[in-house]
Amino acid sequence: MTGRRRRRAPPEPEYTPGQLLDWHDSSHWSDRPLPCRYCGFPAHTRDSRMKPAHKVCAEEALAIQAAEAQAAYHQNGQL
């Protein structure tokens, strides 16, 4: 008699602050520092739109956007 085995669900990825965005690709780096679009300090890194941004600044902006979207969703009575 052969028994059926259940497949295990893949592990849930855990969010670790500072690891939301993966900018290991060299396309996110520039030799010329330009002002960060969020804080204004010089940044060698570029976001996905090739605009100068620090990784930490970009993650903070994403967190703020997510919180604003969640608040708007709750305000409209959707949850």
* Extents of the domains making up the chain: 26-75
Average pLDDT value over all residues in the chain: 81
Let me know: does 17 contact 60? Beta carbons within 8 Å. Answer: no
Write out pLDDT tens, residues 27-40.
889 999 999 999 99
Is the pTM above the cut of 0.95? no
Give the Cα separation of 44 and 9 in Å (integer).
40
